[in-house]
Each structure stands twice: as structure tokens, then as C-alpha cells.
Copies of this chain bind each other. A is one copy, B any other.
Amino acid sequence: MDFYSKWKKRVELTGSFLCVGLDTHPNLIPPFLLKEKNPVVKFNREIISATSSFVCAYKLNAGFYESQGKEGFKILEDTQKSIPEDIPTIFDGKRGDIGNSSKMYAKTIFEVFGFDGTTVNPYLGGDGIEPFLTYKEKYIFILCLTSNPGAKDLQFHGTPPLYLKVASLVNDWETYRNCGVVVGATKSEYIKEIRKIIKNKLMLIPGVGAQGGKVGEVIKYGGNYLLINSSRGIIYASSGKDFAQKAGEKAKNLCEEIKKWRKKWNVELEL
């Protein structure tokens, strides 16, 4: 099933826009797990099992896996495979290169690893994005406005500011319904204007939780078609034996909060 259909079914089932970010690294997981044969895979499986009822997607941050060396590749692959088939998976690698090289990255992410979606950096422009977009069944989240302090350096350059230019380009670039944007939750005042441009495309919103974004505002301005990501705030909720249980509770709470705000702002699915 394609990403969009999977996402839609999950939102209908769970009522939740929550995407859990598996930013998993051996230095960050509960120390008692390190005696396991595959500590990171074990950790991820437990987290997935405890949180899956509350999510519409999982996102894996490539950097955390690559930094584990060649084993990291295997861990990424094993984790991807252990996520239930009906939950869409996102490779968060922010790749982007000239067409020739982007083709290689797209192949890796979608064919080698088998992810349902990915984040892509737009700096190289349309022909760097196109090899990703040819995968009709996948979903491509183009970086638009990010949640970090450095976002001001390039993303606000020019008139209109670059992030709005990128939002418009996403409309131009998309052929199938498989392209959306990444917008940081810490910039929720900007979500409304981006939503106007991209209409019913999916928005992946990181920055809720550890980075301080507010769920209510995100839903008020972002409306439907959201994936609200939380990583550290959920998966590292406890470093004890109860790590999975605590992660499950955090995920449940965020899921409930999302449902509350959807009701409050009257954000009903019209998919």
C-alpha cells in the first residue's frame, strides 16, 4: 500500500497525527540493555510495541544509525522490518544531490531499506528531487522551514522568504500525490501561511517535545494532513526497566492531546 493510504488508515484508526522518532543510539538507551546481543534493535522493538497503538508513522533518523558504523546499517534495516506493515516508515536522512546521485539515494532508501517515505533537502533544486518523486507509492517530505535556530540563516532570505518559495516549488515539482514538506513546530505562526500554499499535502512537523513546539498551535494552523513528530521526549522517557512502558505512556498522552486539539479546532479528516 502507498504511504498516503497507509497514513490515512492509521489516522482513521488511531485518531492520531503522532509520528514517533526513533533517534536511537547505544549511548542513549537504558544501560542495562547493552548486555543484549542487539541492544538498539531490542530497544526499538520494545518502543515500537509499546507505542504503535498511538502513532500514524515512525521516523528513523539516519544519523543516529550511521554513527554506529557498518552495524548501524543492519540495525536500521532490522528496525525498519520490525515495524508493523500497516504503519508507514520514514527515513529521515535529509539527502539531496544532483540527479545522478539522488537516484542512488532514492534507490537505497526505498529499494534497499524499503522505507515508505523520506525527508529530502531542496537546496539542489528540482532535478535533485525528481529521482525521489518517481517513486509514486512513496512520500517525499521536502525541508521547508526547520525548527532550529539556524533556520534564520537561509530560510528567511529574499522576498518572499526562501521557505515560502520552497513551498511553491513543492507544488511545481509534484506529479503524483506523493510530496509534502517538513515544517518545524517551533515556528507554528508560519504553519498557516505554508498550509495555504501547499493545500492538502502532508506536513511533517518535528520539534514537538524536546524542542518545545506546541501541539495545539500546530493543529490550529496546520489542520489536517499532519504528522507531528516527537523523538527524545518519548523514546527516552525513562532509562530504567520501565523504559518501554514510560514511552508508551508518553505516546498515549501526546496522542490524547492531539485528539483533544483536533476536536477543539474542529479538525476532522476530509481525506
Contact = CB atoms under 8 A, between A and B. Distances in A.
Interface of A: 23, 25, 61, 63-64, 66-67, 69-70, 72-74, 77, 94-105, 107-108, 112, 121-129, 143, 146-155, 157-159, 162, 165-166, 169
Given A66-B105, A104-B64, A158-B158, A122 B125 contact: no
Interface of A, helix, strand, loop or mixed by DSSP: helix
CB-CB nearest 4 A-B residue pairs: A125-B150, A158-B158, A125-B153, A63-B104
What is the oligomeric copy number? 2
A128 B108 contact: no
Contacts of A69: 73, 108, 112
Contact of A124 (B77, B107, B148): B148
A101 B63 contact: yes
A131 to B, nearest CB: 10
A64 B125 CA distance: 20
Given A66-B112, A94-B97, 20 more contacts: A23-B101, A61-B101, A63-B102, A63-B108, A64-B104, A67-B107, A69-B108, A72-B73, A94-B96, A99-B148, A123-B143, A124-B143, A124-B150, A125-B148, A125-B150, A125-B154, A128-B148, A154-B166, A158-B158, A158-B159
Given A63-B104, A101-B61, A104-B63, A162 B169 contact: no
A123 B126 contact: no
